[in-house]
Chains A and B, each alone.
Chain A
Amino acid sequence: MIKLLKAEFARCFSGKVFWLIALFTLVTASSFNFIKYITVKREHQTEVFNDSMLYIGLISIGMIAAIFVAFHAGGEFDEGTVRNKLIAGNTKTGIYLCHLAVSSVAMIIIQYLFFFTFYVCSYLFFGAFHHSFSVMMQLQLMGVLGTVAVTAFMLMITMIVRSRTIAVTVCMTAAVIMFIIGVALINELEEHSMELMAMEDIISPEKYAILNKYSYVYGVDSESLSGTKLAVKEVLYDGLFICQAFRFSSERELPYHWEFMAVYNIAVTLVTTLIGTVSFHRLDLK
């Protein structure tokens, strides 16, 4: 499997797809700053809060992973190259895990490329950030777990559908759906949180303190959201990577329940990889 890993890393970093995505990331990260710079100059703003933009890379990683994984791993089936790997003595599980490793590393590089490009550009244009660098790095590290989870999810789809075109379509659709669900969930729970803010006399002081510090407190019913419905939404709030990324951008420190986020990300990675490897092992390949 080591030989296959070496060959796959070489293919990944000599291929067009990775470098096009890297170029896109570089351009996007720097152009956000440039646009912001023009706006700041035009509107004569004195204080710039650019920290939240640092996490756009994480918010968009689902879309990027969908494209990368579908092209890198999905192409194997269109071009029939998976045959060579099996004949070379690799197992289907080995091939799957190898794709997961290569795709994850590629996506983590893209994640950090966005972060550092944005950081450097923003620093040059606007000076220091409000977040401390160590918090940024902690959030990016949390983001790594999420990036791997999203990549594992996209790979599961790709390896089961076994076609680049179908994989791109399905993965992109999944990424868009997750984005919509994430945004809707954040909005709904923010409203729920606002409702709770107005209930100072009902909520316990400890919970109110948490709400004050972190902008959200778990397990407190409001008139609009309560019971199982609230519990499910709170699990998704912690579990969906898109929600995590939005929350990273709005907090100045590690978000409340960050441990849950890490556990959910690891669980998503393990479960999708297990489903993916078992399904791929059983599939009749051509």
Chain B
Amino acid sequence: MEYIIKTNDLKKNYRSFKALDGLSLNVPKGSIYGLVGRNGAGKTTFFRILCGLQEPSSGDYEIYGVKNNDRGIMKSRRRMGAVVETPSIYLDMSAQQNLKYQCRMLGLPDYSCVDELLKLVGLANTGKKKAKNFSLGMKQRLGIAIALVGEPDLLILDEPINGLDPQGIVEMRELILKLNREKEITVMISSHILDELAKLATYYGFVDHGRVVREMSAEELENSCRKCIRMEVTDTAAMARVLDGMEVEYKILSETTADVFAKLNFSKLSEALAKENCEVISMNEHDESLEGFFISLVGGGGND
């Protein structure tokens, strides 16, 4: 698998506070990589380091195979666009002027992409309206449009749906999916709204206390989070024998609890279990969400 971003034991300290404590992750090309972590986990610090705003205290990272201390890192950065925390826009300029400025800075020969980008993010009709008079959602979209100038291959979005109304969230989701599918842009995205992230991401990195506690694909996560019947029985060993006989997938969680991943005829199952002297105490449908998975992974403690 080809990776666009690789980090190796990345550390960042602010005096005694460890914002990143050995963060290692890999972002596959073409993916929508969801970075999940609570406040202060180190997501924004990581994005700032990627954008060159801050230097890591130790460790290194690669963007398109170029290490952060190589001279070519500046060129690699030109292949990415980013919206970190707040959109980076000149508030006393219109949307069009902001995009033209970005075109000039990147040395693009003309401004032909400006109208197309404004249309793409739904700001085509803003005219001479200054960015300071935009709503939060419009500013976010303008920030993304600026990040897209120069046709980057990688887009970094830090909390892009923060403060957006429900319609704005849907539009943002559709825009990200469109960019990923049609323009083949790899997107790295962090969000606190995990259900929304679950609708987008194809890869996940779970961050806690400045470290990646787990990286997995959306399929793996789905398998981890898939629906099952959680059964409480008197003897899971007996239950295992019965389920093996029925060729049903299951997972023993304890001496009395097991998850069953199949649609079953529970009358027949109860009958078979009774023959093995195993009683069913309770059963209920269990569906672990991304949120639940995240909490089970990093623990349910409060934010630091």
Contacts and interface: CB of A to CB of B under 8 A. Distances in A.
Interface of A: 3-4, 6-7, 10-11, 14-16, 75, 79-91, 284-286
Interface stretch (B20-28, B101-109, B215-223, B250-258): B101-109
Q: Which 7 A-B pairs have the closest CB atoms?
A: A7-B104, A285-B53, A3-B107, A7-B105, A89-B74, A80-B88, A86-B52
Given A7-B101, A88-B106, A79 B90 contact: yes
A201 B222 CA distance: 100
A15 B97 CA distance: 11
Contacts of A285: 48, 53-54
Interface in B23-60: 48, 51-55
Given A89-B75, A284-B54, 17 more contacts: A3-B105, A3-B107, A4-B105, A7-B104, A80-B87, A81-B88, A82-B88, A84-B88, A84-B105, A86-B53, A86-B77, A87-B52, A87-B78, A87-B81, A87-B82, A88-B102, A286-B53
A10 B51 contact: no
A34 to B, nearest CB: 32
Contacts of A284: 14, 48, 53-55
- Could you say which of B53, B75, B101 has the most chain A C-beta atoms within 10 Å of its C-beta? B53
B99 to A, nearest CB: 11
Contacts of A7: 101, 104-105
A4 B51 CA distance: 17
Nearest to B107: A3
Contact of A83 (B14, B74, B78, B82): B82
| Contact-residue size bin, chain B (C-beta under 8 Å from the other chain) | 20 to 34
Interface in B70-90: 74-75, 77-78, 80-82, 84-90
Nearest to A281: B55
Interface in B134-162: 146-147, 150
B92 interface: yes
Contacts of A16: 92
B91 interface: yes
Contacts of A75: 90
A3 B102 CA distance: 10
Nearest to B45: A284
A86 B51 CA distance: 7
20 contacts: A4-B105, A7-B101, A7-B104, A10-B104, A11-B90, A15-B92, A80-B85, A80-B86, A80-B87, A81-B88, A82-B53, A83-B82, A83-B88, A86-B77, A87-B77, A88-B77, A88-B150, A89-B78, A284-B14, A284-B55
Nearest to A11: B101
Given A83-B51, A284-B14, A91 B104 contact: no
A87 B146 CA distance: 11
A87 B51 CA distance: 6
A37 B80 CA distance: 61
Given A83-B84, A87-B52, A14 B97 contact: yes
Contacts of A80: 84-89
A81 B107 contact: no
Contacts of B85: 80, 286
- Could you say which of B55, B80, B90 has the most chain A C-beta atoms within 10 Å of its C-beta? B90
Contacts of B53: 82-83, 86, 284-286
Contacts of B147: 87
Nearest to A80: B88
Contacts of B97: 14
A90 B101 contact: no
- Could you say which of B52, B75, B81 has the most chain A C-beta atoms within 10 Å of its C-beta? B52
Nearest to B49: A284
A73 to B, nearest CB: 13
A11 B100 CA distance: 10
Contacts of B82: 83, 87
Contacts of B75: 89
Contact of A6 (B88, B92, B104): B104
Nearest to A84: B88
Contacts of A11: 90, 101
B106 A90 contact: no
Nearest to A92: B52
A43 to B, nearest CB: 46
- Could you say which of A85, A87, A91 has the most chain B C-beta atoms within 10 Å of its C-beta? A87
A90 B52 CA distance: 10
Interface in B87-137: 87-92, 97, 101-102, 104-107
B77 A84 contact: no
A84 B48 contact: no
B10 to A, nearest CB: 15
B198 to A, nearest CB: 28
B89 A81 contact: yes
A91 B86 CA distance: 21
B6 to A, nearest CB: 18
Contacts of A85: 105
Contacts of A89: 74-75, 77-78
A81 B91 CA distance: 10
Contacts of A91: 74
B104 A87 contact: no
B154 to A, nearest CB: 10
B19 to A, nearest CB: 10
